[in-house]
Amino acid sequence: MKISTNLKKLLEKFNLNTLELSRRTGIAQPVIYRLMTGETHDPKLSTVLTLANYFDITLECLIGETVNFSSAEISNKKSSFEVPLLTWKQAVNHLTLAQDILSSTEKTLINFKPISNIFALKTEDDSMLPIFPKGTLLIVNGDQKHPQNGNYIIAKIGTNKKALFRQFIIDNEISYLKSLNPDAAKYRIALFDKKKDICCGVLVQSKVDYN
């Protein structure tokens, strides 16, 4: 399996680093790094498939002896892709939204090939200042249900019908959601109970329009 060599070539070909690839695919950066360095000899099939789907190549091409950059297998030439722009209530049930609803929702463009369940949201408050001001466009991987420490996630807390955007923190095996806004009195830290609360997706990219 030559995935380490091929992955390095693909990153170089598309001018990406491990951090950006992590953001775009939802795969943790350390996992991508271990694949590149050859430390991981038996990667999860889901990880390899996600990478192959992102680069729009076959699984055999990714793990084979060589990657033929001149072949038609790599077709990452399209510069933009449409994804649905959901409301914060829709985000809670994004996996079960009817196709006609998804088809009729507003769309936004992203500059990378979307994986199977990508959606977008716009921040509505200042809870994640200074990094994510109100109106920031969030591109979310809805397939990522098990966030890593430090990830920015879309979460459903308890019976709330509206999702929220927070940083996921694990401290001494306790999971909680943290606002970035220094006004702690306004946005309190919330415990994340894996039995009652749901991760609706992990942030892979954000865009801010300053106009």
At 130-159, the pLDDT tens digits run: 899 999 999 999 988 999 999 999 999 999
Provide the percentage of residues in the chain whose pLDDT is more than 90: 40
| Tokens (6 digits) for 18 | 């491990």
Whether residue 130 has a cis bond before it, omega within 30° of 0: yes
Residue 90's domain spans which residues? 81-207
Residue 187 has pLDDT above 60, yes or no: yes
pLDDT, greater one: 78 or 166: 166
Is 106 part of any domain? Answer: yes
pLDDT number for residue 98: 64
For 38, left (φ over 0), alpha (ψ -120 to 50), or beta? left
> Are both 125 and 38 inside the same structural domain?
no
Cα 110 to chain centroid, rounded: 12
Between 79 and 46, where is the model more confident? 46
Burial of 8 (0-12, 13-18, 19+ CB in 10 A): middle
Q: Tell whether 59 and 120 lie within a shared domain.
A: no
52 and 115 housed in the same domain: no
pLDDT, position 56: 76
- CA contacts within 13 A on the Cβ side of 95: 9
Shared domain check, 86 and 186: yes
Residue 179 binned pLDDT confidence (cut-offs 50, 70, 90):
very high
- CATH code, domain with 170: 2.10.109.10
**Phi, psi (degrees; rounded to nearest 5) at 186:** -80, -40
The answer to pTM > 0.75 is: no
Contact status, residue 13 vs residue 73, Cβ threshold 8 Å = no
Q: What SS3 state is found at 191?
A: strand
Q: Is 128 found in the same domain as 53?
A: no
What's the mean pLDDT when you consider all of the chain? 84
What pLDDT shows up at residue 202?
93
**3-state percent breakdown (helix, strand, coil) of the chain, nearest 5:** 25, 25, 50
- Residue 169 CA to residue 177 CA, distance in Å, equals 6
Q: What residues does 120 pair with on adjacent strands?
A: 85, 139
- Summarised one tens digit per residue, pLDDT across range 65-111 is 655 555 434 444 455 678 899 999 999 988 777 666 666 688 887 77
Same domain, 85 and 173: yes
